[in-house]
Amino acid sequence: MNAILTKEEKTFYNQQCRLTKEICKMHLLYLDNIKKQISCLKFKERFEKTNPEFTAKRQLLEEKLQQNDSLIQIVLSNMSPKNAWIIEKTYLSNNYNSEWYLDYFSKTTFYKRKREAIKEFVDLYFSN
C-alpha cells in the first residue's frame, strides 16, 4: 500500500472510520435495548405470573441475544482473524482505555492495521 494518500483517499478513509464506528455503536445500542426489554419482562413476570405471554417474549429475546447471526457477526467471522480482532477491540468492547493497542502494537503499526481492518470490514459489510 502506498504510504502517501491522496486527499480523496484520506476523506474516504475518514468516512469509512465514521461508518464503522456508527455501525458498531448501533449494534451495541441494539443489544442494550434487548437487554433492557428482557429486564422489563422479567419484572413483569414477577408481578403478573398469570400472563405466559411475558415469558414467551422474554425467551424469544434471550434467544435473539445469544444468536451470533447478526450482520456484524457474519462480517467479523468472514474477516481475517487479526482484522476482526482489531474491530472488536476498537469498536465493540467495553474497554474504556483508548490506548489498549499499545500493549500489542506501536502506534504506527496499530493505525496501519486499523486502516486495513476498517477497509475489510466496510468491504464485507456492503458485499453481504
42 neighbors 58 (Cβ within 8 angstroms)? yes
Q: What is the mean pLDDT of the chain?
A: 90
Angle between helix 71-78 and 7-47 (nearest 10): 130
The better pLDDT of the pair 6, 68 is held by 6
In a domain, 48, yes or no: no
Q: What is the mean pLDDT of residues 45-67?
A: 84
Model's pTM, two decimal places?
A: 0.81
Q: In whole angstroms, what is the distance from residue 18 CA to residue 74 CA?
A: 20
* Percent share of the chain, pLDDT over 90: 60
User: Which of 67, 36, 37, 69 minimizes the C-alpha distance to 54?
Assistant: 37
In a domain, 18, yes or no: yes
Which residue reads 449494534 in cell numbers? Answer: 27
The total number of structural domains that make up the chain: 1
> What is the 3-state secondary structure of the chain?
CCCCCCHHHHHHHHHHHHHHHHHHHHHHHHHHHHHHHHHHHHHHHHHCCCCHHHHHHHHHHHHHHHCCCCHHHHHHHHCCHHHHHHHHHHHHCCCCCCCHHHHCCCHHHHHHHHHHHHHHHHHHHHHC
Q: Which domain range does residue 118 map to?
A: 7-30+69-127
In a domain, 58, yes or no: no
20 neighbors 86 (Cβ within 8 angstroms)? no
Q: Is the pLDDT of residue 51 over 90?
A: no
Q: Is the pLDDT of residue 5 over 80?
A: no
